[in-house]
Structure 1
Amino acid sequence: MLKDEVAKALKVIQDGGIILYPTDTIWGIGCDATNTDAVKKIFRLKQREETKSMIILLDTENKLESYISDVNPLAYDLIEYAENPLTLVMPGAKNISPALIAADGSVGIRVVKHPFCQQLIQRLRKPLVSTSANISGNSSPQYFSQIEGAIINGVDYVVDIDQHDMEIKTPSTIMRLAPDGKFEFIRR
């Protein structure tokens, strides 16, 4: 049941663990975005260079200003009207683990629509890290059965929701948004 899975995942995250979980895009590996030790566990599991940043998920756009110094008002329109999941890369990241902030001070943020993610973030009261459930350099799994054993065995908890969903999902669109409103697509 959703509520039970949220409670189990929440406990693992609050204890500094990392989880494997479904999102509104592909399966992700996540943790508390303010816990640097947990963030570093994900980098180790993915065998990913720490200079390659990961994104954070929020349950509502109202929290953007808690994690970005100067949110361009355009960000709210882009989130509201995006037809597909949209990750916005914005400068001025704050109140998250320094390990998630890119060298230019930016972080990618997606307001997630998946009920599990929304409820977990609401209960955690912090952003959730999200990165594709694969070893760095390998292709991103489109559904649960494609996730490598090393990833499944390497996390502290695997969320028991949507594991049999065979709908092919794709990563989010990524757009860089500057404080002056200039934007560019990084991934469509």
Structure 2
Amino acid sequence: MLRDEVHKAFEVIKQGGIILYPTDTIWGIGCDATNTEAIQRIFELKQRPQEKSMIILLDADHKLESYVAEVSSIAYDLIEFAENPLTLVMPGAKNVSPSLINADGSIAVRVSKHPFCQQLIQRMRKPLVSTSANISGQPSPQNFSQISAEVIEGVDYVVNIDQHDLSAKKPSTIMRINPDGLFEFIRR
């Protein structure tokens, strides 16, 4: 089942499509993080301002250096010891669509521990865009049942995993981290 869903989602993403999928936090809308056209479709679906960038998911922390120019050693410690899913905003974004890079050159990255996300990212050999499965300004859905029909109908594929899990999920903790190792919480 998991392998089949990874394959279906991969085929959609490979063709430039966008998917609705479960993560280790809340449900996300995603695509290939190097495909600017697909990313623009997500901005349009969410009715989200372009300056509010989205995050990328990786399957392993050793891949950070492929997408961030200078990774502070503290970043690895924060990822390893975080009790909850952690998104790090780091300067020096590279090798992703310019649409994902903040005005200051930073990018938000999370290493996902969700088996579907990990396997899909491994198959893609690229980061996966992740943004909450809601229209901008509306509350983030805590589980699949709270996702609006507008979002479900606006994607090219809805992953058939975890849809019946009604437990309340919450977004990741977000921290900004500088190359010198200084960091601050943006969202706890």
Structure 1 match to 2:12: 12
SS of alignment partner, residue 175 of structure 1: strand
1:18 CA displacement: 0.2
Percent sequence identity over aligned pairs: 74
Structure 1 unaligned regions, length at least 5: none
Matched positions, count: 188
Structure 2 unaligned regions, length at least 5: none
TM-score by length of 1: 1.00
Q: Provide Cα deviations, 1:68-108, integer angstroms capped at 9, x if missing partner.
A: 00000110000000000000000000000000000000010
**Displaced runs of 4 or more, over 2 A:** none
The answer to whether structure 1 residue 90 and structure 2 residue 104 are counterparts is no
Q: Provide Cα deviations, 1:88-134, integer angstroms capped at 9, x if missing partner.
A: 00000000000000000001000000000000000000000000000
Which amino acid is 2:21 matched to? Y
TM-score by length of 2: 1.00
1:167 CA displacement: 1.2
- Output the CA distance in 2 between the equivalents of 1:86 and 1:167: 19
Structure 2 match to 1:163: 163
1:39 CA displacement: 0.4
Structure 2 match to 1:176: 176
- Within 5 Å, which residues of 2 pair with 1:24-39? 24-39=24-39
- Output the CA distance in 2 between the equivalents of 1:146 and 1:111: 25
The root-mean-square deviation of aligned C-alpha atoms, in Å, is: 0.3
- Output the CA distance in 1 between the equivalents of 2:184 and 2:55: 17
SS of alignment partner, residue 104 of structure 1: coil
Which amino acid is 1:98 matched to? P
